[in-house]
Amino acid sequence: MATVVDHVGVGHLVVTRHSLVRQVLADPATFRPDNALDAVTPLPVAALRVLAGHRFRLPPTLANNGGASHPEIRGIVADALHPTRVAAQRPWLTGLVRERVARLRATLDAGVPVDLYADLAADLPLLVLARLVELPDAPVGAVKEFARAALELFWAPLDEPRQRALAAEVGRFHTVLRGFAATGGGLAARLRAAGHSPDVVVGALFFLLVAGQETTSQFLTLLLHRLTGEPTVRAGLRAGSVAVADVVEEGLRLEPPIVTWRRVAAVDATLGGTAVPAGTSVVLWLARAGRDPEVVPAPDEFRPGQRGSRRHLAFGAGAHRCVGAQLARLEAAVVVAEATPLLDGVRVVRPPWCPDNLTFRMPDAFVVARR
Ligand code: HEM
Protein backbone atom coordinates (compact mmCIF):
# COMPACT_ATOMS: atom_id res chain seq x y z
CA MET A 1 0.00 0.00 0.00
CA ALA A 2 1.22 3.52 -0.70
CA THR A 3 -0.27 6.99 -0.69
CA VAL A 4 -0.03 8.49 -4.15
CA VAL A 5 -0.83 12.09 -4.98
CA ASP A 6 -2.56 12.46 -8.34
CA HIS A 7 -2.29 15.10 -11.08
CA VAL A 8 -4.66 17.48 -9.26
CA GLY A 9 -2.98 17.09 -5.86
CA VAL A 10 -5.44 14.62 -4.31
CA GLY A 11 -3.95 11.77 -2.28
CA HIS A 12 -5.15 8.19 -2.78
CA LEU A 13 -4.29 5.06 -0.89
CA VAL A 14 -3.21 2.61 -3.59
CA VAL A 15 -3.59 -1.05 -2.63
CA THR A 16 -1.89 -3.80 -4.62
CA ARG A 17 -1.77 -6.91 -2.47
CA HIS A 18 -4.41 -9.47 -3.40
CA SER A 19 -5.52 -10.20 0.18
CA LEU A 20 -5.92 -6.49 0.99
CA VAL A 21 -7.76 -5.67 -2.24
CA ARG A 22 -10.14 -8.55 -1.45
CA GLN A 23 -10.57 -7.37 2.11
CA VAL A 24 -11.63 -3.91 0.93
CA LEU A 25 -14.02 -5.28 -1.70
CA ALA A 26 -15.60 -7.67 0.81
CA ASP A 27 -16.38 -4.90 3.31
CA PRO A 28 -18.70 -2.36 1.65
CA ALA A 29 -19.79 -0.97 5.02
CA THR A 30 -16.26 0.25 5.79
CA PHE A 31 -15.14 0.87 2.22
CA ARG A 32 -18.11 2.22 0.33
CA PRO A 33 -18.46 2.28 -3.49
CA ASP A 34 -19.85 5.85 -3.59
CA ASN A 35 -16.82 7.30 -5.40
CA ALA A 36 -16.70 4.62 -8.13
CA LEU A 37 -17.84 7.03 -10.86
CA ASP A 38 -16.37 10.30 -9.52
CA ALA A 39 -14.41 12.30 -12.09
CA VAL A 40 -10.66 11.87 -11.52
CA THR A 41 -10.15 15.36 -12.92
CA PRO A 42 -12.77 17.49 -11.15
CA LEU A 43 -15.23 18.91 -13.64
CA PRO A 44 -14.92 22.68 -14.09
CA VAL A 45 -18.01 24.88 -14.01
CA ALA A 46 -17.99 25.19 -17.82
CA ALA A 47 -18.22 21.39 -18.28
CA LEU A 48 -20.80 21.07 -15.51
CA ARG A 49 -22.90 23.68 -17.31
CA VAL A 50 -22.75 21.65 -20.51
CA LEU A 51 -23.87 18.54 -18.62
CA ALA A 52 -26.59 20.44 -16.79
CA GLY A 53 -27.85 21.70 -20.16
CA HIS A 54 -28.54 18.04 -21.00
CA ARG A 55 -30.08 17.44 -17.55
CA PHE A 56 -27.25 15.00 -16.91
CA ARG A 57 -27.43 13.22 -13.55
CA LEU A 58 -25.78 10.01 -12.34
CA PRO A 59 -27.57 9.00 -9.16
CA PRO A 60 -26.33 5.91 -7.30
CA THR A 61 -27.63 2.91 -9.24
CA LEU A 62 -25.14 0.04 -9.61
CA ALA A 63 -21.37 0.35 -9.18
CA ASN A 64 -21.61 3.60 -7.16
CA ASN A 65 -24.63 2.56 -5.10
CA GLY A 66 -23.89 1.64 -1.50
CA GLY A 67 -27.50 2.28 -0.49
CA ALA A 68 -30.62 0.23 0.12
CA SER A 69 -31.79 0.30 -3.53
CA HIS A 70 -28.69 -1.51 -4.82
CA PRO A 71 -29.74 -5.16 -4.30
CA GLU A 72 -33.02 -4.68 -6.16
CA ILE A 73 -31.54 -2.77 -9.11
CA ARG A 74 -28.72 -5.30 -9.31
CA GLY A 75 -31.25 -8.14 -9.19
CA ILE A 76 -33.17 -6.75 -12.18
CA VAL A 77 -29.95 -6.37 -14.20
CA ALA A 78 -28.76 -9.81 -13.11
CA ASP A 79 -32.04 -11.36 -14.34
CA ALA A 80 -31.48 -9.84 -17.78
CA LEU A 81 -27.96 -11.30 -17.75
CA HIS A 82 -28.92 -14.65 -16.24
CA PRO A 83 -26.43 -17.42 -17.12
CA THR A 84 -29.05 -19.37 -19.10
CA ARG A 85 -29.93 -16.30 -21.20
CA VAL A 86 -26.21 -15.65 -21.70
CA ALA A 87 -25.47 -19.27 -22.69
CA ALA A 88 -28.30 -19.12 -25.24
CA GLN A 89 -26.34 -16.46 -27.17
CA ARG A 90 -23.43 -18.81 -27.85
CA PRO A 91 -24.57 -20.32 -31.20
CA TRP A 92 -25.47 -16.94 -32.67
CA LEU A 93 -22.25 -15.34 -31.43
CA THR A 94 -20.13 -18.24 -32.69
CA GLY A 95 -21.70 -17.91 -36.14
CA LEU A 96 -21.04 -14.18 -36.23
CA VAL A 97 -17.42 -14.48 -35.10
CA ARG A 98 -16.77 -17.37 -37.51
CA GLU A 99 -18.08 -15.31 -40.40
CA ARG A 100 -15.88 -12.34 -39.43
CA VAL A 101 -12.82 -14.51 -38.94
CA ALA A 102 -13.30 -16.04 -42.41
CA ARG A 103 -13.46 -12.54 -43.90
CA LEU A 104 -10.40 -11.41 -41.97
CA ARG A 105 -8.49 -14.50 -43.05
CA ALA A 106 -9.28 -13.81 -46.71
CA THR A 107 -8.09 -10.22 -46.29
CA LEU A 108 -4.86 -11.33 -44.64
CA ASP A 109 -4.34 -13.94 -47.38
CA ALA A 110 -4.66 -11.15 -49.94
CA GLY A 111 -1.73 -9.40 -48.22
CA VAL A 112 -3.86 -6.66 -46.65
CA PRO A 113 -3.44 -5.84 -42.92
CA VAL A 114 -6.48 -6.11 -40.63
CA ASP A 115 -7.40 -4.27 -37.44
CA LEU A 116 -8.55 -6.87 -34.93
CA TYR A 117 -9.96 -4.13 -32.70
CA ALA A 118 -12.04 -2.30 -35.30
CA ASP A 119 -12.90 -5.29 -37.50
CA LEU A 120 -13.54 -7.90 -34.83
CA ALA A 121 -13.67 -6.83 -31.18
CA ALA A 122 -15.08 -3.30 -31.09
CA ASP A 123 -18.79 -3.89 -31.66
CA LEU A 124 -19.27 -7.58 -30.74
CA PRO A 125 -20.07 -6.98 -27.05
CA LEU A 126 -22.55 -4.24 -27.92
CA LEU A 127 -24.33 -6.48 -30.43
CA VAL A 128 -24.65 -9.24 -27.82
CA LEU A 129 -25.76 -6.82 -25.11
CA ALA A 130 -28.44 -5.43 -27.42
CA ARG A 131 -29.90 -8.94 -27.74
CA LEU A 132 -30.02 -9.45 -23.96
CA VAL A 133 -31.15 -6.02 -22.81
CA GLU A 134 -33.23 -3.88 -25.15
CA LEU A 135 -31.16 -0.83 -25.94
CA PRO A 136 -31.88 2.55 -27.49
CA ASP A 137 -31.97 2.39 -31.23
CA ALA A 138 -28.69 4.30 -31.64
CA PRO A 139 -26.08 3.39 -34.25
CA VAL A 140 -23.20 1.29 -32.93
CA GLY A 141 -20.66 3.99 -33.78
CA ALA A 142 -22.53 6.59 -31.69
CA VAL A 143 -22.67 4.28 -28.65
CA LYS A 144 -18.95 3.48 -28.93
CA GLU A 145 -18.07 7.17 -29.15
CA PHE A 146 -20.25 8.04 -26.18
CA ALA A 147 -18.87 5.19 -24.06
CA ARG A 148 -15.25 6.08 -24.79
CA ALA A 149 -16.00 9.74 -24.12
CA ALA A 150 -17.49 8.79 -20.73
CA LEU A 151 -14.44 6.70 -19.79
CA GLU A 152 -12.19 9.60 -20.67
CA LEU A 153 -14.32 12.26 -18.97
CA PHE A 154 -14.51 10.41 -15.65
CA TRP A 155 -11.19 8.56 -15.47
CA ALA A 156 -8.54 10.48 -17.44
CA PRO A 157 -6.32 13.43 -16.60
CA LEU A 158 -7.76 16.21 -18.77
CA ASP A 159 -7.59 19.91 -19.54
CA GLU A 160 -10.65 22.11 -19.52
CA PRO A 161 -11.32 22.36 -23.28
CA ARG A 162 -11.24 18.57 -23.57
CA GLN A 163 -13.58 18.25 -20.58
CA ARG A 164 -16.06 20.59 -22.26
CA ALA A 165 -15.92 18.66 -25.53
CA LEU A 166 -16.38 15.33 -23.75
CA ALA A 167 -19.19 16.71 -21.61
CA ALA A 168 -21.01 17.73 -24.80
CA GLU A 169 -20.63 14.22 -26.24
CA VAL A 170 -21.69 12.47 -23.03
CA GLY A 171 -24.53 14.94 -22.45
CA ARG A 172 -25.91 14.44 -25.98
CA PHE A 173 -26.10 10.71 -25.49
CA HIS A 174 -27.57 11.11 -22.04
CA THR A 175 -30.48 12.94 -23.68
CA VAL A 176 -31.00 9.96 -26.00
CA LEU A 177 -30.95 7.66 -22.96
CA ARG A 178 -33.44 9.82 -21.10
CA GLY A 179 -35.93 9.45 -23.94
CA PHE A 180 -35.35 5.71 -24.10
CA ALA A 181 -35.59 5.30 -20.32
CA ALA A 182 -39.07 6.83 -20.43
CA THR A 183 -40.48 4.64 -23.20
CA GLY A 184 -38.07 1.76 -23.92
CA GLY A 185 -38.86 -1.92 -23.33
CA GLY A 186 -36.69 -4.67 -21.86
CA LEU A 187 -34.55 -3.65 -18.92
CA ALA A 188 -35.76 -0.03 -18.95
CA ALA A 189 -39.38 -1.20 -18.72
CA ARG A 190 -38.59 -3.60 -15.88
CA LEU A 191 -36.82 -0.89 -13.89
CA ARG A 192 -39.76 1.47 -14.45
CA ALA A 193 -42.25 -1.22 -13.43
CA ALA A 194 -40.32 -1.75 -10.19
CA GLY A 195 -40.96 1.91 -9.40
CA HIS A 196 -37.49 3.35 -10.06
CA SER A 197 -37.28 7.02 -10.98
CA PRO A 198 -36.35 8.12 -14.52
CA ASP A 199 -32.92 9.20 -13.20
CA VAL A 200 -32.24 5.71 -11.88
CA VAL A 201 -33.31 4.07 -15.15
CA VAL A 202 -31.02 6.42 -17.11
CA GLY A 203 -28.19 5.84 -14.63
CA ALA A 204 -28.46 2.06 -14.93
CA LEU A 205 -28.57 2.18 -18.75
CA PHE A 206 -25.68 4.63 -18.82
CA PHE A 207 -23.50 2.35 -16.72
CA LEU A 208 -24.47 -0.79 -18.65
CA LEU A 209 -23.73 0.80 -22.01
CA VAL A 210 -20.24 1.66 -20.79
CA ALA A 211 -19.41 -1.27 -18.49
CA GLY A 212 -21.32 -3.85 -20.46
CA GLN A 213 -19.60 -3.46 -23.77
CA GLU A 214 -16.54 -1.18 -23.82
CA THR A 215 -14.77 -3.27 -21.14
CA THR A 216 -15.22 -6.47 -23.09
CA SER A 217 -14.11 -4.98 -26.45
CA GLN A 218 -10.99 -3.80 -24.67
CA PHE A 219 -10.39 -7.19 -23.12
CA LEU A 220 -10.84 -9.09 -26.40
CA THR A 221 -8.32 -6.78 -28.08
CA LEU A 222 -5.76 -7.02 -25.29
CA LEU A 223 -6.12 -10.79 -25.05
CA LEU A 224 -5.67 -11.34 -28.80
CA HIS A 225 -2.63 -9.08 -28.70
CA ARG A 226 -1.18 -11.02 -25.78
CA LEU A 227 -1.80 -14.31 -27.58
CA THR A 228 0.21 -13.19 -30.63
CA GLY A 229 3.25 -13.36 -28.31
CA GLU A 230 2.27 -16.72 -26.78
CA PRO A 231 2.91 -19.33 -29.51
CA THR A 232 3.04 -22.22 -27.00
CA VAL A 233 -0.41 -21.36 -25.69
CA ARG A 234 -1.73 -21.15 -29.27
CA ALA A 235 -0.19 -24.52 -30.08
CA GLY A 236 -1.83 -25.96 -26.95
CA LEU A 237 -5.21 -24.58 -28.04
CA ARG A 238 -4.72 -26.10 -31.50
CA ALA A 239 -3.77 -29.48 -30.06
CA GLY A 240 -6.59 -29.39 -27.51
CA SER A 241 -4.17 -29.66 -24.57
CA VAL A 242 -4.97 -26.12 -23.38
CA ALA A 243 -8.57 -25.29 -22.43
CA VAL A 244 -10.16 -22.16 -23.88
CA ALA A 245 -11.68 -21.30 -20.48
CA ASP A 246 -8.23 -21.41 -18.86
CA VAL A 247 -6.86 -19.04 -21.51
CA VAL A 248 -9.70 -16.61 -20.78
CA GLU A 249 -8.99 -16.68 -17.02
CA GLU A 250 -5.25 -16.24 -17.47
CA GLY A 251 -6.06 -13.38 -19.86
CA LEU A 252 -8.30 -11.70 -17.27
CA ARG A 253 -5.54 -12.10 -14.69
CA LEU A 254 -2.77 -10.66 -16.85
CA GLU A 255 -4.60 -8.26 -19.17
CA PRO A 256 -7.63 -6.96 -17.29
CA PRO A 257 -9.34 -4.08 -19.12
CA ILE A 258 -10.18 -2.45 -15.76
CA VAL A 259 -6.85 -1.81 -14.10
CA THR A 260 -8.07 -0.14 -10.90
CA TRP A 261 -11.35 0.40 -9.10
CA ARG A 262 -12.14 2.82 -6.30
CA ARG A 263 -13.72 2.74 -2.86
CA VAL A 264 -13.92 5.40 -0.15
CA ALA A 265 -13.38 4.79 3.57
CA ALA A 266 -16.71 5.48 5.28
CA VAL A 267 -15.23 5.46 8.80
CA ASP A 268 -11.76 5.52 10.32
CA ALA A 269 -10.41 2.08 9.48
CA THR A 270 -7.26 -0.04 9.47
CA LEU A 271 -5.96 -1.92 6.49
CA GLY A 272 -2.93 -4.22 6.68
CA GLY A 273 -1.92 -2.47 9.91
CA THR A 274 -2.15 1.02 8.37
CA ALA A 275 -4.64 3.59 9.59
CA VAL A 276 -7.08 4.72 6.88
CA PRO A 277 -8.94 7.87 7.93
CA ALA A 278 -12.61 8.25 6.97
CA GLY A 279 -12.95 9.89 3.56
CA THR A 280 -9.75 8.37 2.11
CA SER A 281 -9.97 7.47 -1.56
CA VAL A 282 -8.79 3.87 -1.88
CA VAL A 283 -7.53 2.85 -5.31
CA LEU A 284 -7.59 -0.92 -5.68
CA TRP A 285 -5.01 -1.95 -8.25
CA LEU A 286 -6.84 -4.99 -9.60
CA ALA A 287 -4.22 -5.65 -12.27
CA ARG A 288 -1.40 -5.85 -9.70
CA ALA A 289 -3.49 -8.03 -7.38
CA GLY A 290 -3.71 -10.53 -10.24
CA ARG A 291 0.08 -10.76 -10.26
CA ASP A 292 0.53 -11.24 -6.52
CA PRO A 293 3.18 -13.97 -6.05
CA GLU A 294 1.34 -15.08 -2.94
CA VAL A 295 -1.52 -16.19 -5.18
CA VAL A 296 0.10 -17.43 -8.41
CA PRO A 297 3.45 -19.21 -8.69
CA ALA A 298 4.41 -17.65 -12.06
CA PRO A 299 2.71 -14.25 -11.78
CA ASP A 300 4.00 -12.67 -15.00
CA GLU A 301 3.77 -15.74 -17.22
CA PHE A 302 0.77 -16.71 -19.31
CA ARG A 303 0.25 -20.26 -18.10
CA PRO A 304 -3.37 -21.29 -18.56
CA GLY A 305 -4.60 -23.39 -15.67
CA GLN A 306 -1.73 -22.56 -13.31
CA ARG A 307 -2.59 -22.63 -9.61
CA GLY A 308 -4.32 -19.41 -8.58
CA SER A 309 -5.02 -18.34 -12.17
CA ARG A 310 -8.77 -18.02 -11.56
CA ARG A 311 -8.35 -16.08 -8.31
CA HIS A 312 -7.81 -12.78 -10.14
CA LEU A 313 -9.96 -9.83 -9.13
CA ALA A 314 -10.60 -8.54 -12.64
CA PHE A 315 -14.36 -8.60 -11.95
CA GLY A 316 -14.06 -7.17 -8.43
CA ALA A 317 -15.58 -9.10 -5.51
CA GLY A 318 -18.39 -9.01 -2.98
CA ALA A 319 -21.71 -7.19 -3.24
CA HIS A 320 -20.71 -5.25 -6.37
CA ARG A 321 -18.88 -8.01 -8.20
CA CYS A 322 -19.39 -7.66 -11.95
CA VAL A 323 -22.86 -8.90 -12.98
CA GLY A 324 -21.66 -9.33 -16.55
CA ALA A 325 -18.81 -11.73 -15.73
CA GLN A 326 -20.56 -14.73 -17.31
CA LEU A 327 -21.28 -12.76 -20.44
CA ALA A 328 -17.75 -11.38 -20.74
CA ARG A 329 -16.34 -14.88 -20.27
CA LEU A 330 -18.63 -16.32 -22.94
CA GLU A 331 -17.68 -13.63 -25.45
CA ALA A 332 -13.99 -14.11 -24.74
CA ALA A 333 -14.27 -17.90 -24.98
CA VAL A 334 -15.93 -17.68 -28.40
CA VAL A 335 -13.34 -15.21 -29.68
CA VAL A 336 -10.41 -17.24 -28.34
CA ALA A 337 -11.78 -20.46 -29.87
CA GLU A 338 -12.63 -18.95 -33.25
CA ALA A 339 -10.05 -16.19 -33.76
CA THR A 340 -6.82 -17.49 -32.22
CA PRO A 341 -5.96 -19.54 -35.34
CA LEU A 342 -5.87 -16.22 -37.25
CA LEU A 343 -2.83 -15.24 -35.20
CA ASP A 344 -0.63 -18.01 -36.61
CA GLY A 345 1.81 -16.62 -39.13
CA VAL A 346 0.96 -12.95 -38.60
CA ARG A 347 3.14 -10.06 -37.50
CA VAL A 348 1.99 -7.13 -35.41
CA VAL A 349 1.94 -3.99 -37.53
CA ARG A 350 0.44 -1.76 -34.84
CA PRO A 351 0.12 -2.93 -31.21
CA PRO A 352 -2.76 -1.51 -29.16
CA TRP A 353 -2.00 1.94 -27.78
CA CYS A 354 -3.66 2.77 -24.48
CA PRO A 355 -4.14 6.40 -23.41
CA ASP A 356 -3.45 7.72 -19.91
CA ASN A 357 -6.40 6.62 -17.78
CA LEU A 358 -6.71 5.65 -14.12
CA THR A 359 -9.01 2.72 -14.72
CA PHE A 360 -9.61 1.65 -18.32
CA ARG A 361 -7.09 0.40 -20.87
CA MET A 362 -9.03 1.65 -23.96
CA PRO A 363 -6.81 0.21 -26.72
CA ASP A 364 -7.33 2.13 -29.95
CA ALA A 365 -6.34 -0.38 -32.65
CA PHE A 366 -4.56 -3.69 -33.16
CA VAL A 367 -3.29 -4.21 -36.68
CA VAL A 368 -1.72 -7.42 -37.93
CA ALA A 369 -0.55 -8.62 -41.34
CA ARG A 370 0.72 -11.88 -42.84
CA ARG A 371 4.36 -12.48 -42.09
C1 HEM B 1 -13.96 -8.28 -19.33
C2 HEM B 1 -15.02 -7.56 -19.14
C3 HEM B 1 -15.41 -6.94 -17.81
C4 HEM B 1 -14.65 -6.62 -16.73
C5 HEM B 1 -13.16 -6.83 -16.54
C6 HEM B 1 -15.53 -6.05 -15.74
C7 HEM B 1 -15.13 -5.61 -14.50
C8 HEM B 1 -15.95 -5.06 -13.54
C9 HEM B 1 -15.52 -4.53 -12.26
C10 HEM B 1 -14.08 -4.48 -11.78
C11 HEM B 1 -16.61 -4.09 -11.60
C12 HEM B 1 -16.64 -3.46 -10.20
C13 HEM B 1 -16.78 -4.60 -9.20
C14 HEM B 1 -16.72 -4.22 -7.76
O15 HEM B 1 -16.98 -3.05 -7.41
O16 HEM B 1 -16.44 -5.11 -6.93
C17 HEM B 1 -17.75 -4.33 -12.46
C18 HEM B 1 -19.05 -4.02 -12.13
C19 HEM B 1 -20.10 -4.18 -12.99
N20 HEM B 1 -20.09 -4.73 -14.25
FE21 HEM B 1 -18.47 -5.48 -15.20
N22 HEM B 1 -16.81 -6.03 -16.24
C23 HEM B 1 -16.78 -6.58 -17.50
C24 HEM B 1 -17.87 -6.76 -18.34
C25 HEM B 1 -19.16 -6.48 -18.02
C26 HEM B 1 -20.31 -6.80 -18.83
C27 HEM B 1 -20.26 -7.53 -20.14
C28 HEM B 1 -21.40 -6.32 -18.17
C29 HEM B 1 -22.85 -6.34 -18.55
C30 HEM B 1 -23.34 -6.58 -19.71
C31 HEM B 1 -20.94 -5.72 -16.95
C32 HEM B 1 -21.76 -5.12 -16.02
C33 HEM B 1 -21.35 -4.69 -14.78
C34 HEM B 1 -22.25 -4.11 -13.80
C35 HEM B 1 -23.75 -3.87 -13.97
C36 HEM B 1 -21.47 -3.80 -12.66
C37 HEM B 1 -21.94 -3.14 -11.36
C38 HEM B 1 -22.34 -4.24 -10.39
C39 HEM B 1 -22.82 -3.73 -9.06
O40 HEM B 1 -22.38 -2.66 -8.62
O41 HEM B 1 -23.64 -4.40 -8.45
N42 HEM B 1 -19.59 -5.84 -16.88
N43 HEM B 1 -17.33 -4.92 -13.63
CB neighbour list of residue 93: distance below 8 Å, 6 or more residues apart:
124, 128, 330, 331, 334
Ligand 1 center from residue 322 Cα (angstroms): 3
Ligand 1 center from residue 31 Cα (angstroms): 18
At 148 the pLDDT is 96
Tell whether the model's pLDDT for residue 58 goes beyond 90.
no
pLDDT mean across residues, the chain:
96
From the alpha carbon of 63, which atom of ligand 1 is closest? 40
Percent of the chain with pLDDT over 90: 95
At 65 the pLDDT is 97
At 136 the pLDDT is 79
Tell me how far the alpha carbon of residue 95 is from its chain's centroid.
24
User: pLDDT band for position 75 (50/70/90)?
Assistant: very high
From the alpha carbon of 64, which atom of ligand 1 is closest? 40
Tell whether the model's pLDDT for residue 139 goes beyond 90.
no
Q: How many residues are there in the chain?
A: 371
At 138 the pLDDT is 78
Closest residue CA from atom 8 of ligand 1: 315
CB neighbour list of residue 326: distance below 8 Å, 6 or more residues apart:
81, 83, 86
From the alpha carbon of 263, which atom of ligand 1 is closest? 15
Ligand 1 center from residue 36 Cα (angstroms): 12
Nearest of 253, 252, 292, 250 to residue 20 by alpha carbon: 292
At 28 the pLDDT is 97
Q: What are phi and psi of 155, to 5 degrees?
A: -125, 5
Do residues 190 and 133 lie in contact, with contact meaning Cβ atoms separated by under 8 Å? no
At 137 the pLDDT is 78
Ligand 1 center from residue 9 Cα (angstroms): 29
DSSP bridge pairs for 265: 31
Percent of the chain with pLDDT over 70: 100
Tell whether the model's pLDDT for residue 51 goes beyond 90.
yes
For 219-232, what is the mean pLDDT? Answer: 98
Ligand 1 center from residue 287 Cα (angstroms): 15
For 22-50, what is the mean pLDDT? Answer: 97
For 150-177, what is the mean pLDDT? Answer: 96
DSSP bridge pairs for 4: 12
pLDDT digits (tens, 9 = 90+) for 289-332: 999 999 999 999 999 999 999 999 999 999 999 999 999 999 99
From the alpha carbon of 256, which atom of ligand 1 is closest? 5
Do residues 13 and 283 lie in contact, with contact meaning Cβ atoms separated by under 8 Å? yes
Closest residue CA from atom 43 of ligand 1: 322
pLDDT digits (tens, 9 = 90+) for 348-369: 999 999 999 999 999 999 999 9
User: pLDDT band for position 56 (50/70/90)?
Assistant: very high
Q: How far is CA 341 from CA 95, 224, 299, 326, in A?
A: 16, 10, 26, 24
For 94-123, what is the mean pLDDT? Answer: 98
From the alpha carbon of 257, which atom of ligand 1 is closest? 5
Mutate to test the pocket of ligand 1, among 25, 151, 284, 315 (most ligand atoms within 8 A of CB): 315
Ligand 1 center from residue 211 Cα (angstroms): 6
SS3 label, residue 346: strand
pLDDT digits (tens, 9 = 90+) for 262-283: 999 999 999 999 999 999 999 9
- Ligand 1 pocket, CB under 6 A: 25, 33, 62-63, 74, 77, 81, 129, 208, 211-212, 215-216, 219, 256-258, 261, 314-318, 320-324, 327-328
Tell whether the model's pLDDT for residue 134 goes beyond 90.
no
Ligand 1 center from residue 110 Cα (angstroms): 39
d(CA 237, CA 245): 10
From the alpha carbon of 329, which atom of ligand 1 is closest? 1
Closest residue CA from atom 7 of ligand 1: 315
Q: pTM for this structure?
A: 0.97
